Structure 1
């Protein structure tokens, strides 16, 4: 599974819905330097940031 698929899979678990996960993953966010989660996850550091952000969301800290 590539990083994009891993992000989408994790987001689906966090948001509980494929549609919500996909919407979140393509939305441009300032914490990702003006990129979407999927764009940000193309680098190793970006991938780690996206996964950390999803963990925060899962534990009640907004994204």
Structure 2
């Protein structure tokens, strides 16, 4: 659960509001090979992929 909270906080900063962040978490992400970000949070590697992807989105490097 803590991973989800951390990713949601970052996603809120990237997307600008909590509703968009929550919606993004449950939809396929092209930059994550069309995988669901929420499903990737189950492993350490998946968490790092999602966190890295959000940073790249924030800086426009995707």
- Place the TM-score, normalised by the shorter chain, in its bin: 0.7 to 0.9
Where does structure 1 lack aligned partners over 5 or more consecutive residues?
Answer: none
Distance 1:56 1:31 in 2: 10
- TM-score for both structures, normalised by structure 2: 0.83
- Cα distance 1:21–1:42, how it changes in 2: closer, same or farther (>3 A)? same
Distance 1:41 1:32 in 2: 12
Distance 1:32 1:56 in 2: 12
How big is the shift at 1:38? 1.2
- The residue that corresponds to 2:42 in the other structure is 42
Where does structure 2 lack aligned partners over 5 or more consecutive residues?
Answer: none
How big is the shift at 1:31? 4.4
Alignment of 1:8-23 (within 5 A): 8-23=8-23
Deviations 1:42-62 (A, max 9, x none): 100000000000001000134
Q: CA RMSD in A?
A: 1.7
- TM-score for both structures, normalised by structure 1: 0.82
